[in-house]
Each structure stands twice: as structure tokens, then as C-alpha cells.
Structure 1
Amino acid sequence: MSEKEPARRPGGRSARVAAQVHQAVTELIGERGYGNFTVGDVAARAGVADSSVYRRWGNLETLLGEVALTRLNARSPMPDTGTLAGDLRTYAAQVAREITGPDGPAVLHLAVALAGTGEQGDRAREGVRAERTRQLQSVLDRARERGEEAPDAFEVLDHVLAPMYIRVLFGMDGLTPEYINGLVNRLLSFRPNGTAP
């Protein structure tokens, strides 16, 4: 690097702008719903120029896809409680906190809306699924290494995460610890030769 080139600071202005724009999108989705705002609305809410949004993301669909991927794939620490049941309960509780937090319902609705919008929506959907599967696989692989019988990642998605997502999407209450633990217990009790702890 020459002396004339300024050093780039990690997390500098570019990261701040991205965070402001992502937050603006999340707020607008929550207030107006999918398809009811423009790049100009996002830029105004974020306090940046329209040109900054277009330069970085190209169009609104690309930006929306990135927001859905980033917000739904929050990387909480993967639990290691020593048992599969404990790990799944802890992981499900973390996901519940993410999707019921201030922005959770809006981001879930965004992901559903994007699913029918073509290539960008497909990428967002596949990205969310792939990241959740990767997270779960690390928990399930560790359980098998301990000698525990474990379901596959899609069974956990179907029987634990999907019911939680449905409750949030339809505005239903009830992501209580008892409800979440019950989902995990039922999943594990359906395993051949398995019992719910």
C-alpha cells in the first residue's frame, strides 16, 4: 500500500451505512409491508443518498434479499450443553428470541414475500435454509460423536423451527419455554428407540 492510500478501517463508514440502510428496510417492512416503499424511501429513512443505495445494492430486490439473509441468519453462539436435548432446547430458545424481537416478525414477513419474487428471492430463501441447516448440523454431528441418536437437520426444521415461524407469521402468542421444550421433546420422542428426556 502506498503512503498516499489511506488505510481502510474495518467497520467504518461503509458498515455504518449498511447498518442504517438495513434498519431502514426493516422498519419500512414493519410499517408498510412488502412492495409499498421505494429505494428513495429507504434512503430517506436511513439518512443517505439514493445513489449510495443503488451503488452498493443495484436495486431494491437485492437489498431486500440481503436484509432477509442477514437478519434471519443471526449467528448466535451454538450451544454445547452436553446433551442433544439440551442443545436443541437452547438453540430453539435463541431462534425464538431472534424472531420475536423488535424486528423479527417484519423480517420473517419479508422472507416469505421474497420467496415468490424470482431469482433474488430464491437466493434469499436458500441462503436462510442453508445457514439454519449448517447451524443445526453442527449440533447434530456433535450429538452423534457423543453416541446419541440424532434426527436429521430437516426433521428439526420441520418439527421445531417451522411451528415457531408459523406462530410469529400469523401473530399467534405462545413461544414460551414450555411450548419450545415441548416441540423438542416431541421430535426426540418420535425417533426410533428414542425417548423424550
Structure 2
Amino acid sequence: MAIKEGLRPGGRSARVQESIHSAVRDLLQEQERSTLTVPQIAARAGVTPSTIYRRWGDLSALLADVALARMRPDSEPANTGTLRGDVLAWAEQYLDEMSSQPGRNMLRDVQSSTLPIYCATIIGGQLQAILDRYPDQPKPSVDRLINLVAAPTVFRILFSEAPLEVGELHRLIEIALSQ
């Protein structure tokens, strides 16, 4: 699987992975995901289908890997100057991005694979970066923020007709931040 830690961060392996990820992203812009096939992706990426099967095993694992790569943040979470403001900014952005159709598809791809733990690792890392900015303030644990803010957000996105309302998100953040 391409997510393995032992792979070199550059070189041929990284170029092949990026080519395949790029092919998946491009094809998903052009057609329905239900019509996507490994041979199409391989042809677009300039590799053989066996390259994809050897690295990912199947199409769902590849889609999950592409989704996880897109979920990784490009930068640190917004720094508003306050813990409450940073958590609010992060949670509102997360809700907005993940409740969009591409966000829902990414969450479903990850959920249907063997990789959901990486999603929690990514979210936990973002929240820990926020908490680390305020070493002298009382603050909740990352687990508390995941349980009271991220988990209800993801649950509503995946299993409800409507995502969490922003007002309810704010109320959950207040609960999470209260000690």
C-alpha cells in the first residue's frame, strides 16, 4: 500500500505514486466514480494495472489513499490568537470542506477502506497543533475535541441527510472547551 512509512519521500516510487494519484483525481473530474476502473487509471498514469494492484491491492484502497492524501493539510491550522478562535476556525473549515460532495466522497472512500485510522491521525495532528499554541492555558485533550467536535461532524456528514448546523458545531465546541 502506498501509505506505508518505509517508502522513500522522493525518487521513482514517489513519481509513480503522484502520477497515479493525479490520474485518479483527473478521471474523477471527468466521470462518475462508479465507472472508474484500474485499467483506466493505469493507462492515464502511464503504468500497468499490475503496478496499481501491487501497491494498493484494489480500487477502493487506491481511492482511499488518494482521499487521505487530499485530506492532509497543506499548512498549519489558522491562528486567530485564541484557543477558542482556532478551534472554531478549524471546525468550521472542516465542516465546510467535508460536507461538500467531494468531501463526502473522500470520507466514504476512507471509511470503506482499511485506512480510517489515518484520518483520525490527521485530525488529531491538526488539533494538537492548535493546542500546542497555548501551553499556559487550560485546554481539553485531543481525544475530547475529536469526540465532541470531529466525531459528530463526520457522523452527520456520512449518516444524515444534512450536515451539522454551524450553530450546533459552536455549541459542541463550547462544551469541549469547558473544563
**TM over 0.5, shorter chain:** yes
* 2:142 alignment counterpart: 153
Determine what percentage of the aligned residue pairs are the same residue.
25
- Aligned partner of 1:194 in structure 2 is none
- Root mean square deviation, CA, Å: 3.1
1:18: Cα distance to partner? 2.6
Q: Unaligned 5+ residue runs, structure 1?
A: 1-7, 115-120, 192-197
Which residues in structure 2 correspond to 1:74-153 (within 5 Å)? 74-114=73-113, 121=114, 124-143=115-134, 145=135, 147-153=136-142
> Is residue 167–residue 173 contact of structure 1 (8 Å, CA) maintained in 2?
yes
Supply the distance in 2 between the matched residues of 1:93 and 1:128 (Cα, whole angstroms). Answer: 17
The residue that corresponds to 2:168 in the other structure is 179
Distance apart, 1:43 and its partner CA: 4.4
What are the ranges of 5 or more consecutive residues in structure 2 without an aligned counterpart? 1-10
**1:166 and 2:162 aligned:** no
Equivalent AA in structure 1 for residue 124 of structure 2? T
- In the alignment, the residues of structure 1 paired with residue 103 and residue 41 of structure 2 have an alpha-carbon distance, to the nearest angstrom, of 18
The TM-score with structure 2 as length reference comes to: 0.74
Aligned-pair CA distance for 1:149: 0.8
Whether the aligned pair in 1 keeps the contact of 2:98 and 2:157 (CA below 8 Å) is yes
* Distance in 1 separating the partners of 2:144 and 2:29: 30
Superposed CA deviations along residues 109-161 of structure 1, whole A, max 9, x for unmatched, are 111111xxxxxx1xx22222212111111111212x2x221111011111001
Residue 174 to residue 14, structure 1, CA distance change in 2 (3 Å): closer
Please report the TM-score for the alignment, with normalisation by the length of structure 1: 0.68
Contact 1:25 1:67 in 2 (8 A): no
Number of aligned positions between the proteins: 164
